[in-house]
C-alpha cells in the first residue's frame, strides 16, 4: 500500500484520513482512505455513490470516528482518483456491475490486512447501495448495513425500464456504448451545471457550495454523465437484484420525500420485503441525506450509528 493524495482547502482542519493505493486483480489502481477512531468499537465500510470521491465524505467519516468507528472507503474504479476506464476521463462508465465486486474484494482484503477492528458494518449511498446489496448477497463479512437512498432502481422520469434498456442497447449496437447517455448531461459535471435552489442532491446551500467548489477546484476528481454502457449495466443489475431475496443482515434503509434520482418505490418495496429491515423516511430530504441540512443529516447519521451500535458483537 503506497501513499495516495487527499485534497483539502486552505483553512480546512488537518484531515484525519490516511490514503493509499490498492491494486485490483484485473490491474486497476484504486485510491482508498482510512479514518481511524481514537478508541474504536468497530469498523464501517463506506460505499459511496456514482460521481463521488473520498474528500466528499470527510465530515461523515469523522462523525463515525467520534462514535467509535474506524472508516474505510475507496474511490470506485472509473471515478475519483482511481483509474478511469476510458481514454476520456469525463464520462462515468462501467461495462458490467459485477466488476465493482472486484473493488469490494480489494476493500475487504485491505481491511483484513490492516486488522481493522470488528465488528464490521456497511454504510452505502446510492450506487454504493447497489454494489453493497450485491456484496451482502455474496457474503460481505459485516454484522449490519445502513443504506442512504440506495439505487435499487433509477428514476427514469416516467420512461418505462424496458424502453430505457432498449434505447441503451440500440445505442450500444451503434457503437455509442462509451458515449454519455441521452439526458445524462454529456461530459459536464452535474454540480457545475445545476442551479443551487433546484438541484436534486441537497437542500443545504453551504454543503452544495462545498461540493461545487470541490468539483471546480479539483477537476481530476470530477465525473460527467453516465455512458450508455453504464445505464444498461445499472438497469440490468437493479433488475437482477430485485429478483433476489434480501440477505440475512439487519438493515436500515433511508429514503427522502423529495427523492428524484433513484426509485423511491423500489426502495420502499425492498424494505417491506426485508425481514428485520427498518425503513427511515426523511421528510424534505433530496437524494443525499448525508449532505443535507443539519436536521435531516443528523436524523440519518444518528439512526445509522444507533443501528451499528445495536448490532455490535
Would you tell me how many other CB atoms lie within 10 Å of the CB of residue 110?
Answer: 19
Whether cis (ω within 30° of 0) applies to the bond prior to 269 is no
Is residue 189 a part of any domain in this protein?
yes
Sequence-distant (≥ 6) Cβ neighbours of residue 41 within 8 angstroms: 68, 69, 117, 309, 312
Range of the domain at 276: 17-310
| Banded pLDDT at 1 (limits 50, 70, 90) | confident
pLDDT digits (tens, 9 = 90+) for 225-267: 999 999 999 999 999 999 999 999 999 999 999 999 999 999 9
| Banded pLDDT at 158 (limits 50, 70, 90) | confident
Is residue 34 a part of any domain in this protein?
yes
Q: What is the CATH classification number for the domain harbouring 216? A: 3.40.50.1820
> Is residue 313 predicted with pLDDT exceeding 80?
no
Q: Are 31 and 110 in contact (CB under 8 A)?
A: no
Buried b (16+ CB within 10 A) or exposed e, 257-296: eebebbbbebbeebbeebeebebbebeebbbbbbbbbeeb
Is residue 289 a part of any domain in this protein?
yes
Is residue 281 a part of any domain in this protein?
yes
Q: Are 155 and 287 in contact (CB under 8 A)?
A: no
Work out how many domains the chain is built from and give that number. 1
Which of 276, 239, 301, 249 shows the shortest CA–CA distance to 135? 249
| Banded pLDDT at 168 (limits 50, 70, 90) | very high
Is residue 9 a part of any domain in this protein?
no
| Banded pLDDT at 312 (limits 50, 70, 90) | confident
Mean pLDDT of the chain: 97
Is residue 10 a part of any domain in this protein?
no
Is residue 216 a part of any domain in this protein?
yes
Is residue 147 a part of any domain in this protein?
yes
Residue 29 φ/ψ region, left for φ over 0, alpha for ψ in the -120 to 50 degree band, beta for the rest: beta
Q: Are 73 and 24 in contact (CB under 8 A)?
A: no
pTM passes above 0.95: yes
pLDDT digits (tens, 9 = 90+) for 40-85: 999 999 999 999 999 999 999 999 999 999 999 999 999 999 999 9
pLDDT digits (tens, 9 = 90+) for 258-296: 999 999 999 999 999 999 899 999 999 999 999 999 999
Residue with cell 470488528: 118
pLDDT digits (tens, 9 = 90+) for 91-106: 999 999 999 999 999 9
pLDDT digits (tens, 9 = 90+) for 205-223: 999 999 999 999 999 999 9
> Is residue 309 predicted with pLDDT exceeding 70?
yes
Amino acid at each position: 500500500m503506497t501513499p495516495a493524495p487527499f485534497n483539502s482547502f486552505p483553512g480546512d482542519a488537518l484531515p484525519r484520513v490516511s490514503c493509499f493505493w490498492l491494486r485490483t486483480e484485473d490491474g486497476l489502481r484504486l485510491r482508498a482512505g482510512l479514518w481511524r477512531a481514537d478508541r474504536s468499537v468497530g469498523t464501517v465500510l463506506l460505499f459511496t455513490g456514482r460521481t463521488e470521491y473520498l474528500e466528499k465524505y470527510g465530515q461523515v467519516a469523522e462523525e463515525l470516528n467520534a462514535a467509535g468507528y474506524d472508516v474505510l472507503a475507496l474511490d470506485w474504479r472509473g471515478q475519483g482518483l482511481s483509474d478511469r476506464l476510458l481514454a476520456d476521463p469525463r464520462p462515468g462508465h462501467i461495462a458490467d456491475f459485477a466488476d465493482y465486486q472486484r473493488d469490494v474484494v480489494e476493500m475487504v482484503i485491505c481491511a483484513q490486512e490492516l486488522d481493522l477492528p470488528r465488528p464490521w458494518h456497511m454504510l452505502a449511498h446510492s450506487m454504493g447501495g447497489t454494489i453493497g446489496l450485491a456484496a451482502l448477497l455474496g457474503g460481505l463479512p459485516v454484522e449490519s448495513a445502513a443504506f442512504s437512498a440506495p439505487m435499487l432502481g433509477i428514476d427514469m422520469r416516467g420512461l418505462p425500464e424496458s424502453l430505457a434498456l432498449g434505447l441503451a442497447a440500440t445505442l450500444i449496437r451503434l457503437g455509442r456504448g462509451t458515449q454519455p447517455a441521452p439526458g445524462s448531461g454529456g461530459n459536464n459535471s452535474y454540480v457545475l451545471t445545476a442551479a443551487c435552489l433546484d438541484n436534486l442532491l441537497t437542500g443545504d446551500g453551504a454543503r452544495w457550495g462545498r461540493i461545487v467548489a470541490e468539483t471546480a477546484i479539483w477537476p481530476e476528481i470530477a465525473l460527467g454523465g453516465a455512458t450508455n454502457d453504464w445505464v444498461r449495466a445499472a438497469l440490468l443489475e437493479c433488475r437482477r437484484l430485485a429478483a433476489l431475496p434480501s440477505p440475512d443482515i439487519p438493515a436500515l434503509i433511508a429514503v427522502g420525500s423529495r427523492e428524484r434520482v433513484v426509485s423511491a418505490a423500489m426502495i420502499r418495496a425492498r424494505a417491506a420485503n426485508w425481514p428485520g429491515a427498518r425503513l427511515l423516511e426523511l421528510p424534505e430530504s433530496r437524494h443525499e441525506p448525508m449532505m443535507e441540512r443539519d436536521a435531516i443529516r443528523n436524523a440519518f447519521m444518528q439512526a445509522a450509528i444507533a443501528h451499528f451500535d445495536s448490532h455490535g458483537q
